[in-house]
Amino acid sequence: MLDLTYEAPKPKVISGAKHDWELVIGMEIHAQVSSNAKLFSGASTQVGAEPNSNVSFVDSAMPGMLPVINEFCIEQAVRSGLGLKAQINLRSAFDRKNYFYPDLPQGYQISQLYHPIVGEGEVIVELGPGVARRVRIERIHLEQDAGKSIHDMDPNMSFVDFNRTGVALMEIVSRPDIRGPEEAAAYVVKLRQILRYLGTCDGNMQNGNLRADVNVSVCRPGQYEKYQETQDFSHLGTRCELKNMNSMRFIQMAIDYEARRQIAILEDGGTVVQETRLYDPDRNETRSMRSKEEAHDYRYFPCPDLLPLEIDQAWVDDIAARMPELPDAKKARFMADFGLTDYNAGVLTAELANASYFEAVVEKARRKGIDPQAKQSSGFTVAHGISNMIVNDLFGALKSSDFTIETSPISPEQLASLVMLMQNGEITSKMAKELFEILWTEGGDPAEVAAARGMKAVTDTGAIEKALDDLIAANPAQVEKAKVNAKLAGWFTGQVLKATGGKADPAVVNAMVAQKLGL
C-alpha cells in the first residue's frame, strides 16, 4: 500500500469581525447503484428513456403491489462497503420513511434507518504527496430514489417523471471529520473514484447519479476537540444541510458562503436555525428550503412488506474474493513496480480507464522486447517515460479534442511501437514528439510513418564527434566559458543538434560534449 503520513484534522479558520471560527463538515453522498433494474422491481433504470416509460406497478404504488428485493443491488452495496473497509451487517432491515410529495407516489420511501446493511468504514483522502487524512464512514444504507418534478415546461402546471422512482440509492454517511471546503471536495472525488473502480456507481454528477448533501456548522477553536472527547454534537454548533450538490466547485463555494453566513448571525447575537438550504451558483448564496427534519418527523417504522434481510458470510467472502484492485493499491503498485512518480501515478490512477491504457502500453512494449522496468540514462524507468508521454502528450491532446481515453486516435499498440523506436535508438525524443502529432492526425504504423518521413536518428558517433570537434575548434572562447560554467555547455549540444538536423540523440551529444570539455 501507499506509504502515507496521516494528519490530524486541520480546520479551516475563518476570522469573523469578533472571533476566529472553525468549520465542521459532514456529508451524505447519494450514489445511484449501477444496476439494470430498480431496487424493488424489475423496471429498467435506463437513462434518457421517454418520461414515465420505465415504471412498474410497484413503482407507481398500484394497490396490492409488493416490493421484491433486487439481489444484485444488495451485492453492489456489500461490494461498496468492502471497498470502504466497512463492517458488513449480515442482518439488516428496511423501514418506511413517510412524507408526501408529488414525485413520491407511495407517500413513503423504503429506506434503512435503524439497521443499515453497511456499518462503519473509512475513506483515505490524500492532501498532498504522502500526506493523507481519514474520514470515517458512519454507515451506508440502501433506499429508493424519488421521481422528478418538472416545473419549467408550462407556466401553469408542473409535471412528474416517475422513471427514477424506485431506483436503488446508497446513502453514504460520513462522520463530521471534514474541516474545510477543499477537503470536502477531495473527499467526494476520492469516494467517487472508489465507487467507479468498484463498478457500483458510475459517478455521473451531471445526471444526478451521485450527489452530495453537505452538513455545515461552525464552532469556536477548541470545541471540536471537546466533541472528540465527549462525542457530544452540541460542541460543534447548529448544522445546516446544503441539499443536492452535484459539482466539486459548487460544493466548495457553497460551504464557504454558508460558513460565513452562520458566523455573521452568531457574531450579531443571533441563533443559527437548523434547516435545509439550497445553493444558488448564479448568486453564490444559499437560501432556505425547509426546516431540517429529525427522524421522528418522518414517522419511521419497519416496512411491513419486507422481511429483515439476512445474508451469509460465505456470500460476502465470495464478493470480497472478486474485488478489483482499488485506486490506492494500484497507485502504490505503479510506483513500486514501474518507478512512477507520485504525481504521474496519481494522474494515471485517477480514472480506471487511464490506468488500463497505461498498463496496456506497458504490456505491449514488453511483448516487443522492451523492459518497462529498465533504468534509462535519466535514472527513470522506461515505464516512467511511457507515463510521461501519456500524462503530458496524450492527455494534453485529449483535453483539447472531443476524444476520450477510450476513443483515443492513438492506440496502446501504436504508443508501444513509438516507445520501441525510441528505445532502439531509431528516433530521437524530438522525432518522437513529431511522430506523435502525425499519428494523432493521420494514424498509421509508427515504424512505417517514420521511414516514409525520413525520421531516423543519427547513430554514427563518428559524424557527431567530427561536428563537435569542428565546433570546439571554431569557438575557443565559448569553450573557456563552458569550463567555468558547465551550464553553458548546452550551447554546444544545441549547435550539434542543429548541424545534424535534429537527428542526433541529445543524450549521446551531451555525454560527448562533457567528455570533450572535461566537465
Kindly report, residue by residue over 132-183, the tens digit of the pLDDT. Answer: 899 999 999 999 999 999 988 888 999 999 999 999 999 999 999 999 999 9
- The one-character DSSP state at 178 is B
Answer whether 237's CB lies under 8 Å from 262's CB.
Answer: yes
274 vs 483, residue with greater confidence: 274
Average pLDDT for residues 399-428, to the nearest whole number? 93
CATH number for the 461-517 domain, one of 3.40.390, 1.10.10, 2.30.30, 3.40.50?
1.10.10
Mean pLDDT of 310-321: 98
Q: What is the largest CA-CA distance in the chain?
A: 99
User: Domain coordinates of the chain in residue numbers?
Assistant: 5-321, 327-452, 461-517
Per DSSP, helices labelled H in 236-381 are 248-267, 313-321, 327-338, 342-349, 352-367
CA distance 60 to 107: 11
Nearest to 429 by CA among 463, 389, 391: 389
pLDDT band at 418 (very low <50, low <70, confident <90, very high): very high
- CA–CA separation, 177 and 160 (whole Å): 37
**Pick from 485, 495, 493: nearest CA to 519:** 485
d(CA 279, CA 148): 19
The dihedral formed by the CA atoms of 435, 438, 444 and 450, expressed in degrees to the nearest 10: -40
Return the HEC string of 406-444.
Answer: CCCCCCHHHHHHHHHHHHCCCCCHHHHHHHHHHHHHHCC
Is residue 102 within 8 A of residue 149, CB to CB? The reply is yes
Task: Say what the pLDDT of residue 481 is.
Answer: 78
Q: Given pLDDT bands bounded at 50, 70 and 90, which one contains residue 385?
A: very high
Rounded to whole angstroms, the Cα distance separating 227 from 463 reads 75
pLDDT tens, residue by residue, 61-82:
999 999 999 999 999 999 999 9
Asked if 200 and 76 touch (Cβ cutoff 8 Å), the reply is yes
Indicate the residue type of 465: E
Among residues 488, 509, 489, the alpha carbon closest in space to that of 498 is found at: 509
Q: Is the pLDDT of residue 501 over 70?
A: no
User: Which three-class secondary structure state does DSSP give residue 107?
Assistant: coil
Q: Which of these, 144, 188, 178, lies nearest to 163 by C-alpha position? A: 144
| Predicted model pTM | 0.88
The distance from CA 511 to its chain's CA centroid, rounded to whole angstroms, is: 42
Dihedral angle over CA of 498, 503, 507, 513, nearest 10: -40
C-alpha cell at 469: 570537434
CA distance 478 to 468: 13
Give the DSSP H/E element, type plus range, for residue 169: strand 168-174
pLDDT, tens digit, 9 for 90 and up, residues 321-356: 999 999 999 999 999 999 999 999 999 999 999 999
- Tell me what the mean pLDDT of segment 214-222 comes to: 95
Rounded CA gap, 482 and 204, in Å?
57
Q: Rounded distance, CA 338 to CA 151, Å? A: 54
pLDDT for 1 equals 64
Residue burial 412-431, b: 16+ Cβ < 10 Å; e: rest: bbbbbbbbbbbbeebbbebb
Helix (H, G, I), strand (E, B) or coil at 375: strand
Q: What is the pLDDT of residues 358-376, one digit of tens each?
A: 999 999 999 999 999 999 8
* pLDDT band of 8, cuts 50, 70, 90: confident
Q: How far apart are CA 370 and CA 386, in angstroms?
A: 12
Give me the pLDDT at residue 461, please. 67
Nearest residue to 288 via CA among 270, 271, 274, 268: 274
- How does residue 502 score in pLDDT terms, banded at 50, 70 and 90? low
- Work out the mean pLDDT of the chain and round it to a whole number: 91
Interval 114-122 mean pLDDT: 97
Contact 129, 325 (CB under 8 A): no
